[in-house]
Amino acid sequence: MSSDHSHSHAHGPNDAGKNIAVAFFLNFFFAIIELIGGILTNSVAILSDAFHDFGDSLSLGVAWYLQKISTKKGDSRFSYGYKRFSLLGSIFISVVLVVGSILIVAESIKRFADPQDTNAAGMVLLSILGIIVNGAAVFRLKKGRSHNEKAVLIHMMEDLLGWIAVMAGGILMHFWDLPFIDPMLSVIIAVWVLFNVYKNLSSTISIMLQEVPKDVDISDLYNDFKSIGKADSIHDLHVWTLDGESHILSVHLVMQENVTREEVQKAKESLKQIAMHRGIGHVTVEVEFCDEVSCCSYYKNPC
Ligand SMILES: [Zn+2]
Ligand SMILES: [Zn+2]
Ligand SMILES: [Zn+2]
Ligand SMILES: [Zn+2]
C-alpha cells in the first residue's frame, strides 16, 4: 500500500510492543506460579485462573508476534499486507481456550460430587501475593494508550478481580466447612473465559464476513458522497475491514454530463477526503459518466 495510508497512534509501535512484551512475561510467570500454587493448595479455582492467565499470555504472545508481522507491507503473495493474520491468531486462541475451559468445568463438576480438601490458608496467601503484583501491573499500564495496551489493562484488572474472589473464597473456606466454594469459583472463572471467547470470536467472524465496520455509518457516507459537486449518483458502495482497524472502501461515482477533467479530479479528491475523515484508509473509486451505456441503464433501472 502507498505511504498515504497512515494511522495515528498515541506513540510508536515499539513502545506498545515493549509494554505487550512486559505483560506477556508477567502473565506467563503468573500462570506458572498459579499452576504450582493450585496443585499445592489443591484448589481448582486457582488452577482455573492459572489457565485463564495462560490463555491471556498466549493471546499476548500472539499479539506481540503479530505486532511485528502486521506492519509488513503487502507483497506479491499477500497484496493487502499481513493485517488479517490477527484473525487467524484469534481463532487459534479461541480453540485453545474453549478446550481448556471444558476440561476445567469437567474437573469442577467432579469435585461438586466428590468434595476435596483444599488448603484455604494457602489460597489466601497466594491471592494476597497476586493482588500486590497484579495491582502493580495495572498501575503501571494505566499510562498506556494504544488499543493493545488497553486490552492488556482490561485483562490485568479482571485478573485482579479473580484474585479478590479467590481470597474471599479462601477466607470463607478457612472459617467454615464449605468445600463447594472452590469448584464454584472455578466454574465462574471458566464461564467468564468462555464469555470473552464468544465476544472475541463473534467480532472476528463479523470481520471475515466483511460486515460494515461498527464505527462506519454507511448511509451517512452514501449521503455525503451523493452531495459531492458535479456528482450525479453513486452505486456499488462497499466498506469492509481488514482487521477491525484498517478499513477498505470501494465505490462507483457517476459524474454529471459535460464535466471537465478538473471537476472529476476534484470530486474524486473530496470523496477520498470524506472517507479518510471517517477513518477509512484505503479508497478505490471507479468514475463513470452518465453517457456510458451501462451506467445510464443502471441509473434508470437501479437493481
Ligand atoms: Zn494502497
Ligand atoms: Zn484475562
Ligand atoms: Zn490470574
Ligand atoms: Zn458502476
What pLDDT does 183 receive? 81
Percentage of the chain lying above the pLDDT 70 cut: 85
Q: Scan for cell 498515504, then name that residue.
A: 4
Phi/psi for 109 (5° steps) reads -65, -40
What pLDDT does 275 receive? 93
How far is Cα 303 from Cα 300, in angstroms, rounded to an integer? 9
CA 246 – ligand 4 centroid, Å: 25
Q: Name the closest ligand to CA 6.
A: 1
Q: Where does the pLDDT of residue 134 fall: very low under 50, low under 70, confident under 90, or very high at 90 and above? A: confident
CA 131 – ligand 2 centroid, Å: 14
CA 139 – ligand 3 centroid, Å: 16
Q: Scan for cell 477526503, then name that residue.
A: 273
CA 3 – ligand 2 centroid, Å: 36
User: Which domains can be identified in the chain, with CATH numbers?
Assistant: 13-208 (1.20.1510.10), 218-300 (3.30.70.1350)
Q: Are the beta carbons of 264 and 289 closer than 8 angstroms? A: no
Q: Which amino acid is at 62?
A: V
Q: What share of the chain is helix, strand, coil (3-state, %, to 5)?
A: 65, 10, 25
What pLDDT does 10 receive? 40
Q: Where does the pLDDT of residue 190 fall: very low under 50, low under 70, confident under 90, or very high at 90 and above? A: confident
As a whole number, mean pLDDT of residues 201-209 equals: 90
As a whole number, mean pLDDT of residues 119-145 equals: 78
How far is Cα 301 from Cα 297, in angstroms, rounded to an integer? 6
Helix (H) or strand (E) holding 45: helix 44-69
Q: What is the DSSP letter of 78?
A: -
How far is Cα 224 from Cα 133, in angstroms, rounded to an integer? 51
Q: Where does the pLDDT of residue 294 fall: very low under 50, low under 70, confident under 90, or very high at 90 and above? A: low
CA 41 – ligand 2 centroid, Å: 22
> pLDDT tens digit string along 138-175?
777 666 555 556 666 777 777 788 888 888 888 887 78
Q: Name the closest ligand to CA 126.
A: 3
What pLDDT does 241 receive? 93
As a whole number, mean pLDDT of residues 216-226 equals: 90
Nearest CA to 45 out of 190, 195, 192 is that of 190
Cell of 128: 494476597
Cell of 167: 481470597
Q: Name the closest ligand to CA 303.
A: 4
